[in-house]
Amino acid sequence: MIAYEARPYRAGVGIMLLNKASEVFVGQRIDNPADAWQMPQGGIDAGEDPLVAARREMKEETGTDKAELLAESRTWLYYDLPPDLADRIWKGRYRGQRQKWFAFRFAGSDSDIKIDTPHPEFRSWKWAAMRELPNLIVPFKRKLYADLLVEFSGLLPVARKTAS
């Protein structure tokens, strides 16, 4: 097995799927009993365009692709797996992922979301406030989620002023 520090990053995509209220789709992974929530994400197949991969992953993980593209991250964002986890997943070939992120506006209804897909990844799902994302994810991905809030800050709902 290659030393952790010498391993490359796996190329992947991430999807920030926003509903009409600018809340974000998050799911709880089937393979993780923790109370952590994440946005859909996955690997890019050889020769696959990142946007095509994002639409494919959205369909595979949420059961729908009823969404219109809002934004694409300017750069690739990275996260490192904890070394013990990196030794167990992806056959120990990668130290983490480099991801191109895409924000989409969901154009369907909640009934279009079906996480019981042929190869389900989530056991539960909900809509969450964008600002809460770093608090919902596993610790080793928190910085990436915080960076996403900056990257897609133009999509954050504007706080309404209340009359005094």
pLDDT, one tens digit for every residue, the chain (164 residues): 789 999 999 999 999 999 999 999 999 999 888 889 999 999 999 999 999 999 999 999 999 999 999 999 999 999 999 999 999 988 899 999 999 999 999 999 999 999 998 899 999 999 999 999 999 999 999 999 999 999 999 987 665 555 55
Name all domains of the chain by residue range, CATH numbers in brackets.
Answer: 4-155 (3.90.79.10)
pTM score, whole prediction: 0.92
Q: Coil, strand or helix: which one is 101?
A: strand
Instruction: Identify the CA nearest to 17 among candidates 107, 132, 123.
Output: 107
